[in-house]
Structure 1
Amino acid sequence: MTRPTSATGRTPAGAGPGAGVSLPVPASAGGGPISHAIFRLARLHRMHAGQLLRRIGLHPGQELVMMHLWELGAQRQTDLVRLLDSDAATMTRTVQRLEQAGFVRRRPSPTDKRASLVEPTAASLALRREVEQSWSRLEDLVAAGLTADERTAALHTLERLEQNLAQASVDPPDADPDGGK
């Protein structure tokens, strides 16, 4: 059974068994309707991104690495971790997979013997336009039917939510709001 998920108490249009639009909202998530909506949105966004990227031989997240490499040129893997707010193990696997696919290569850093640089290959440069088209298509899917003002407002709201969580990472709230009383 799909529970209402919006502030109005209605279930999103098309929601229901097999509709692929929404997950049932457990009663225990009632205290976090925005968080649950973000979870659902992220799940669907990643699914659609995966479908679009699979057609060009990439998995979600790999295109972000490629975008940074195309924009900035060769980077140390540790710099990619920082740029993408990733972890070292995930970045290592991502770079290895991109290298196996022929989209990046590693070469020794000329300034740091301990580091290697990850750089895009000519094959990846041919992929760039397809990645850009996939992202444009994804944006069209996400923002379908929104006016320019609604797109601006949505982006502003998402940026604010991101800022809130980034700030909470720097200054985490107490786990116990009552202070243990």
Structure 2
Amino acid sequence: MDFDQADAVNQAIRLLSLRHRARTAELLAPLGLHPGQEALLLELARTGPMIQAQLSEALSVERPSVTLMARKLEAAGHIRRSPAPDDQRATVVELTDGGRALTEKVKQLWCALAQETLAGLTTETVAELPGLLKTLTCNVDTRRPHSRRDAG
């Protein structure tokens, strides 16, 4: 790949990421949420109560970030945190009734954002996109062990 092609790909990914996050922030603001908090709520809706460390792993974010998000969401009444019954050092996080209601609004917003983002793409492209994006994510995942080929 030459520089011009590499630059075009990298710039497109960078701009999509920046603009998607900005649009997410714009849509979440009326709900009193910031980007990242919706992912925490959606993960709890999918899985049920989780230990905060597991939530960090599931969201692929650092533990202090989850702690800060959880504190803010708890203060707003959207989640409840309590000591894990089998490990007093661990904290279980779960949605409150208000958090479940808010999550339903987030799901609607998430659908609208996806439709807005994917406008103009064919059904086939939309069906392929999650797999393609997952491959790109895996290709740049800094947590994966580097192979011999990567080191060369």
Structure-2 residue corresponding to 1:73: 48
1:169–1:98 CA distance, 2 compared to 1 (3 A) = same
Aligned length: 148
Q: CA deviation at 1:31?
A: 4.3
Whichever structure has more helix as a proportion of its residues is: 2
Aligned to 2:34: 59
Normalising by structure 1, report the TM-score: 0.74
Q: Which consecutive segments of 4 or more residues in structure 1 shift more than 6 A?
A: none
**Structure having the larger proportion of residues in strand:** 2
Identity of aligned residues (%): 32
Report if aligned partners of 1:74, 1:117 keep a CA contact under 8 Å in 2: yes
Alignment of 1:149 with 2:105, yes or no, is: no
Give distance in 2, aligned partners of 1:61 and 1:54. 12
Q: Find the aligned partners of 1:153 and 1:125 in 2 and give their Cα distance.
A: 30
CA distance, structure 1, for counterparts of residue 12 and residue 54 of structure 2: 32
SS state of the match for residue 115, structure 1?
strand
What is the aligned-residue RMSD (CA, Å)?
2.1
Q: Which residue of 2 aligns with 1:139?
A: 114
Q: What stretches of structure 2 of length at least 5 have no aligned partner?
A: none
Kept in 2, the 8 Å contact 1:77–1:118? The answer is yes
**TM-score, normalization by structure 2:** 0.87
Considering Cα pairs closer than 8 Å and 6+ residues apart, tell me whether 1 or 2 has the greater RCO. 2
Contact 1:29 1:36 (8 Å CA) reproduced: no
Distance 1:29 1:120 in 2: 47
